[in-house]
Amino acid sequence: MTIRQVDANELLTQVRRCMFGERLVIEREGKRLSARVQHVGVTGVKVVPETTLLEHEGDPGDLNGVTVDYADIREVEVDGVTYVLA
């Protein structure tokens, strides 16, 4: 896997390319968490934290994600490349 250090504009460009299920790392209130993309929207990204996915026993469509601000995203994996905010 390739890791690329990018600026905020490039990271945002890559996040907007995301499809359902791709991995993001989000930082909120000093805590980092890994999540999977549910939907990329205009003001943010709707995600499902990976811990929720691991504990979920129902149907895939039963999960309700949370919307996070683009500013909270620290890294994203797209097409085998991890883009990390420098």
**Rounded (10°) CA dihedral 83, 79, 81, 19:** 20
pTM over 0.85: no
Is 6 within 8 Å of 84 (Cβ atoms)?
yes
- pLDDT for 1 equals 77
Mean pLDDT value across residues 5-23: 93
- What is the chain's mean pLDDT, rounded? 88
Task: Please determine, for residue 69, whether its predicted confidence score (pLDDT) is greater than 90.
Answer: yes
Task: Please determine, for residue 3, whether its predicted confidence score (pLDDT) is greater than 90.
Answer: yes
Task: Please determine, for residue 55, whether its predicted confidence score (pLDDT) is greater than 70.
Answer: no
